[in-house]
Structure 1
Amino acid sequence: MPLPAIPRRVKIGDAAAFAGTTPRAIRHYHAIGLLAEPERGSDDRRRYGYDDMIRLLWIRKMADAGLSLDDIRAGFEGATGIEQSLAQLEESLAAKAAAIEVQRAAVHRLRKMGSPLGLLSPLVSGRLHDLAPGVPRSTDLDTLLVTERVLGPLGAAAQADRFIVLATHPELRAEEDRLAEAEADLDDTVSPDDPRIEDLAAQRCAHETALAAAIDRSGLDEALDVLLDQEDEHAGEEEGEARMSTLEAIGKMPYDFSPARVRYEERVIELLHSADQDGDTSRAC
């Protein structure tokens, strides 16, 4: 039986049918640089030769194996043969597998530690891991998340000491809750000149002074000094992340504070600064 006429080049429809794909897919291969544009016939239509068909068959085999078109294209780039292409692909996929392992480890850590504790850097969450589940509170952890963004892991690690003391000193926790409730009452119905602001700011100053003393007695600040000595070791943790100054960060973080609450916060800062300058916190507050 004689062989059928064997064309030296075929149209895109025949090429697609032979390779098990569609003309639209082949046009996409051309568009993304995966398959070079072939010669065109006198009718200005693409004509595909033997080498083009081999390339199409390799593309289809790789795609059927689950490889993305981007990965396939990367494997072909600069390669002089299919063996080199496969070697490049294997190297690229190994790098991706390693990156996925890092991501899996991160997700596993988030699940194991819980959210939002797992969202904090190891430097911060490590200071809280000995506390009972649910301690500190989720609102405390949210605050640490914001602080870490503003001041970095070391600043948040320092603030974590505050929440550790609150979790282990019921009387301080009760006072914190009482003050937080009173602060929440400084809504838009309260004038910034209300005399209660001054009294409440003095109470907050005294409470923060008591907290600082408890932290000092606990020795937590000594452990923090060790972290400070290791600052260089963790300096690259947030490399590549856009960093802002503290004032810039505060200006971009929304807080639903009334004018009275803003004035209160300013007054607390003034009192604490005065206490720090005088060195006599009880008299300053």
Structure 2
Amino acid sequence: MYPSATPPREVKIGDAAAFAGTTPRAIRHYHQIGLLPEPARGGDGRRRYGYDDMVRLLWIRKMSDAGISLDDMRAAFDEARDIGDVLGRLEETLVAREADIRRQRAAVQRLRSVGSPLGLLSPMVTDRLSHLPPGALRPADLDALLITERIFGPLGAAVQADVFIILATHPDLRAEADRLDAADAALDDTVHPHDPRVGELAAQHCAHHKALIGAIEAAGLDLAEEQLFEIDDTEASGDEDARMSAFEAVTKMPHDFSPARTRCMELTAQLMAVAAQGE
């Protein structure tokens, strides 16, 4: 005849955690936030958990597995809120989480398909550049698309992608872009913003921009851009949880441009605006 096992009247925190499928640290946290009343301590100064404590721990574990937050658990135990309200908000959270998982899976699939960090950008940008051969885009091009998408959204990045398509397929325009980049880098802090070279370089940038626009139009990419702006806003909204205005984004993006280089950018924008008005 086997001896019968007699359950203890009270157990220590480690045994309580093991039975409930949680950890002593979690139980201590439940005490701190008032979710689980702290039991009396024994003669050795350690907490002792009884039957009612174990029942509540098991309910906490079940609710946690269902995705119910600790705050909602506390409200449910206190009967301070209708459980229907708690479950309604939980369902909304789960729906949002499912949408996040779908987006994450789509991003992983794009990464597998594209085989480069380009797959992390919006599908609008990824699809636009999908026909380019591997290595056609430089790391700096990808960085620029990433920043543009953050500031102006997928539409803005998709339009900018057309510039990189032209640069990747027109060696002469790529060479001129490289020359202008080198000239920009030479505008360091030793160059005065009103140095004549700044204005000359701005004019060259404007001319290069016109050449890029001409190449985009010749390739028919400008017609594709018109179609982009017909896309529903919900498709082109991008990361809604982290959206901010373009102005706010620009003011938060650090740069290492010298005053002369900043002045060159301003002059280039003015020249391009004048040129656009004259067309």
TM-score bin (small chain): 0.7 to 0.9
User: How high is the TM-score relative to the length of structure 2?
Assistant: 0.73
Query: Shift in Å at residue 25 of structure 1?
Result: 6.2
The residue that corresponds to 1:252 in the other structure is 252
Query: Shift in Å at residue 112 of structure 1?
Result: 3.9
Give a deviation string over 1:151-204, Cα, whole Å, max 9, x none: 111111111111111111111111111111111111112122222222222111
Task: Tell me which stretches of 4 or more aligned residues in structure 1 moved more than 6 Å.
Answer: 22-25, 38-41, 94-98
Query: Shift in Å at residue 108 of structure 1?
Result: 3.9
The residue that corresponds to 1:84 in the other structure is none
Structure 1, 169-178 or 105-114: larger mean CA deviation: 105-114
Query: Shift in Å at residue 245 of structure 1?
Result: 3.1
Higher normalized contact order (CA 8 Å, seq sep 6+, divided by chain length) = 2
CA contact (8 A) 1:192 1:260 kept: yes
The residue that corresponds to 1:146 in the other structure is 147
User: How high is the TM-score relative to the length of structure 1?
Assistant: 0.71
User: Are 2:191 and 1:197 aligned?
Assistant: no
Query: Shift in Å at residue 242 of structure 1?
Result: 3.0
In structure 2, the residue corresponding to 1:189 is in which secondary structure? coil
The residue that corresponds to 2:68 in the other structure is 74
The residue that corresponds to 2:84 in the other structure is none
The residue that corresponds to 1:218 in the other structure is 219
* Matches for 1:119-198 after TM superposition, within 5 Å: 119-198=120-199
Unaligned runs of 5+ in 2: 78-86
* Matches for 1:9-28 after TM superposition, within 5 Å: 10-13=9-12, 17=15, 20=18, 26-28=27-29
For 2:212 and 2:99, locate their aligned partners in 1 and report how far apart those are by CA, in whole Å.
Answer: 45
For 1:270 and 1:226, locate their aligned partners in 2 and report how far apart those are by CA, in whole Å.
Answer: 28
Describe the shift of the 1:272–1:70 C-alpha distance in structure 2 as closer, same or farther (beyond 3 A).
Answer: same
For 2:125 and 2:16, locate their aligned partners in 1 and report how far apart those are by CA, in whole Å.
Answer: 60
Describe the shift of the 1:258–1:225 C-alpha distance in structure 2 as closer, same or farther (beyond 3 A).
Answer: same
Structure 1, 102-111 or 156-165: larger mean CA deviation: 102-111
Unaligned runs of 5+ in 1: 80-87, 280-285
In structure 1, the residue corresponding to 2:9 is in which secondary structure? coil
For 1:98 and 1:271, locate their aligned partners in 2 and report how far apart those are by CA, in whole Å.
Answer: 45
The residue that corresponds to 1:85 in the other structure is none
Query: Shift in Å at residue 114 of structure 1?
Result: 4.1
Describe the shift of the 1:127–1:49 C-alpha distance in structure 2 as closer, same or farther (beyond 3 A).
Answer: same
For 1:73 and 1:125, locate their aligned partners in 2 and report how far apart those are by CA, in whole Å.
Answer: 35
For 2:140 and 2:121, locate their aligned partners in 1 and report how far apart those are by CA, in whole Å.
Answer: 13
CA contact (8 A) 1:175 1:207 kept: yes
Query: Shift in Å at residue 30 of structure 1?
Result: 4.3
Describe the shift of the 1:215–1:11 C-alpha distance in structure 2 as closer, same or farther (beyond 3 A).
Answer: same
Describe the shift of the 1:102–1:122 C-alpha distance in structure 2 as closer, same or farther (beyond 3 A).
Answer: closer
Describe the shift of the 1:109–1:33 C-alpha distance in structure 2 as closer, same or farther (beyond 3 A).
Answer: farther
* Matches for 1:53-68 after TM superposition, within 5 Å: 53=54, 58=58
For 2:159 and 2:26, locate their aligned partners in 1 and report how far apart those are by CA, in whole Å.
Answer: 57
AA partner of residue 234 (structure 1): E
Query: Shift in Å at residue 218 of structure 1?
Result: 0.8
RMSD (Å) for aligned C-alpha atoms: 3.9
AA partner of residue 71 (structure 1): D
* Matches for 1:99-114 after TM superposition, within 5 Å: 100=101, 102-114=103-115
Describe the shift of the 1:154–1:37 C-alpha distance in structure 2 as closer, same or farther (beyond 3 A).
Answer: same
Count of matched residue pairs: 254
CA contact (8 A) 1:205 1:271 kept: yes
For 1:23 and 1:260, locate their aligned partners in 2 and report how far apart those are by CA, in whole Å.
Answer: 61
Describe the shift of the 1:28–1:188 C-alpha distance in structure 2 as closer, same or farther (beyond 3 A).
Answer: closer
Identity of aligned residues (%): 53
User: Are 2:262 and 1:268 aligned?
Assistant: no
CA contact (8 A) 2:10 2:50 kept: no
Describe the shift of the 1:237–1:37 C-alpha distance in structure 2 as closer, same or farther (beyond 3 A).
Answer: same
